[in-house]
Chain A
C-alpha cells in the first residue's frame, strides 16, 4: 500500500520536479535581472579599519537612488565594490547577474562609474568618441551630442584644455550616452556651478528609463532634491535608512512650526529664520515638500525614532 502511494506520488510529481530543476538550472546559468544589484552580508575593511560588516542592499531598475552619508562612512567604497574595483572580504555582490570582481567585458559594458576624482586623457572630442565609445555597444552618439548641447560644453577644445566642471559634464554626458544599465555617480555635482547643477538634474531626470538604475552618492543633499526616487542612508557600515520618496512624504511631514508642543515631539527640529524647521510623523496625512537635508539630519540624529515611523 505504502509502496503504491509512493510510486503514484513519484509518477505525479516527477514531471514537476523536472520542470523545477530545469528552471533552477536556467536561473543559475543565465543572468537574472530581478535585482540590478543584490548585496548580502558584505564585509569590507581597509587593513584593520572596518568599513562594512554585514551590509545588505537591493537596487532595482527604473529608480534613481540617493546614497547619503557622512564623510568616511563608505559611500565611495560601496560604489567601488559594486563596480568591481574593490573585492569583498566576505559576503556576496551580484550586479546584473555578474560577480563584479571578475571585471568581465560584458559586465563592464553595462555599468558606468563617474568617480569623484576622475581622469580624462589629453585627446580631442573626436578621439574620445572614436576610441572610447566603441567599447560600449549601446552608446548613442545622438544622445551624447544632445547632452553636450544641454550642458553648453564648447566643442573644439581638447579635453585637457577644459575646466574641471566642463570635464565633469563631458564625463556625465558620456556616462548617460553609454546607456549602461547601471550608472554609478560619486559626488557628481562637486565642481559644478549653480546653473550646471540645474542642468545636471534636468539631464539626469530625462535619461532614466525602466531598464536603468542610477545610484548617486553625495553629501550635497540639496542637489538631489526632486531628482531621486529612493533615499538610502549609510552609516558605520550599515544601511541606516532605505525608503522611497513616496513613502517618506506619506509617513513624514516637513514644516516650519511655532507650536511648542509640536516642536518638543518632533523627530528632528532646528531653528529657522522664522520659527523652527521640524520633521514629524505625518499622522494627519498632510502634504508637505520633502526637505532632504532635514530628513538626513533627522535620520542621523534620531535613527531609531525615524525608523519606527516606517514600521507598519
Chain B
C-alpha cells in the first residue's frame, strides 16, 4: 500500500464521508430545490411571462456561486474544533487521500448535484411559465409583448448568450471559470480559517479584487498614453479628435492571461490548501 495514495483507502474515505454527511447533504439539496421553486414561482406570478434563458442563467449562477462558495467554506469543517480535528487528522489515511476526498465532494459532487437539482426545477417551471404566458396572452391580448415559447437554457453552451463582457470567453464559460476559482479560494479559506471561514475568505477575496482593480485601473492606466482607455487585459483604446485607435498586445498575451485565469488560479489555490492541510496542527 502506498503511503501517499491508495485507491481502496480513498474509496473507503469517500464512503465514510457519505455515511457521516448524507443527511446534511440531502437536506441542503432539498433546500436549494425549494428556494429555486420559490424564486421561479415569484417570477411567474409577477410577470406572467415565459422564463427567458437569461433569467434562468442568472438564477443558475447566483445559486451556484452562493451555495457553492458557502459549501466550499465548510469543506474542512472538521478542523474548526479540536475534538473533530483530532479525529480527522488521526484517521489512518494520507493527507492526499483526505484532501482529494473533500475536493471530490465539494467540487465534483456538489456541481453535478446542484446542476441536476437546478434542471429538475428549471425544466418543469419554464414549461409552467410557458403555459401561464399562453393563457395570459389569450386573456390580456398583449400585442407589444407577444407570447414566447419555452426554451431551457443550456449552461454548457454559449449559443443563447449575448457577448456582454469584452473578453475572449463566452459568458457561461466565463462565469463557470470564475465559479471554480472562487470555490477553490473558499476551499483554501476553510483550511486557513478555523472560524467564520466564509466571511473571512469573502473579505480576503474582496481585498484581492480591490488590489487587482487598483493595479490595472491606476498603475497600468498611468503607464498608458493620455486619453487611453483600458479595455481588456491586453488592449487600450486611444481616443483622439480624429477618431479612435487601439493598442493591442500580441495575441498570445490574451491566451496566457485566460489560460492562467481558467486553470492556474484554481490549481494554485488547491495546491496551497493541500500543503496547508499537511502542516495543520491541533
The answer to whether A and B interact is yes
Q: A-side interface residues toward B, CB under 8 Å? A: 80, 83-87, 103-106, 108-109, 111-113, 115, 117-119, 121-123, 127, 130-132, 134-136
Q: Give the interface SS of chain B, mostly helix, strand, loop or mixed.
A: helix
Report whether A83 and B90 are in contact in the complex, using a CB–CB cutoff of 8 Å. yes
Q: Is B46 an interface residue (CB 8 A)?
A: no
Q: Is B260 an interface residue (CB 8 A)?
A: no
Interfacial residues of chain B within 58-109, with CB under 8 A of chain A in the complex: 81-84, 86-87, 89-95, 97
User: Which of B1, B6, B92, B281 is close to A108, meaning CB atoms less than 8 Å apart?
Assistant: B92
Closest-by-CB residue of A relative to B5 is: A105
Q: How far is the CA of A238 from the CA of B9 in the complex (A)?
A: 39
Report whether A80 and B19 are in contact in the complex, using a CB–CB cutoff of 8 Å. no
* Nearest 10 pairs of A and B residues by beta carbon: A108-B92, A131-B16, A119-B83, A109-B92, A135-B92, A119-B84, A121-B20, A117-B83, A104-B3, A105-B92
Would you give 7 A-B contacts (Cβ < 8 Å), ordered by A?
A85-B281, A86-B282, A87-B281, A118-B87, A119-B87, A121-B20, A131-B20
User: Which of B12, B23, B89, B92 is close to A131, meaning CB atoms less than 8 Å apart?
Assistant: B12
Residues of B within 8 A of A123 (CB): 19-20
Q: Give the interface SS of chain A, mostly helix, strand, loop or mixed.
A: loop
Residues of B within 8 A of A111 (CB): 90
Residues of B within 8 A of A127 (CB): 19
Counting chain B CB atoms within 10 Å of each CB, the highest count among A104, A118, A123, A131 belongs to A131
B96 CB to closest chain A CB, in angstroms? 10
Q: Is B15 an interface residue (CB 8 A)?
A: yes
Residues of B within 8 A of A134 (CB): 12
Assuming A85-B89, A123-B19, is B81 touching A105 (CB within 8 A)? no
User: Which of A80, A87, A118, A122 is close to B83, meaning CB atoms less than 8 Å apart?
Assistant: A118
Report whether B90 and A108 are in contact in the complex, using a CB–CB cutoff of 8 Å. yes
Q: How far is the CA of A131 from the CA of B93 in the complex (A)?
A: 13
Report whether B19 and A131 are in contact in the complex, using a CB–CB cutoff of 8 Å. yes
Report whether A105 and B3 are in contact in the complex, using a CB–CB cutoff of 8 Å. yes
Residues of B within 8 A of A112 (CB): 90
Q: How far is the CA of A115 from the CA of B85 in the complex (A)?
A: 11
Assuming A117-B83, A118-B83, is B90 touching A104 (CB within 8 A)? no
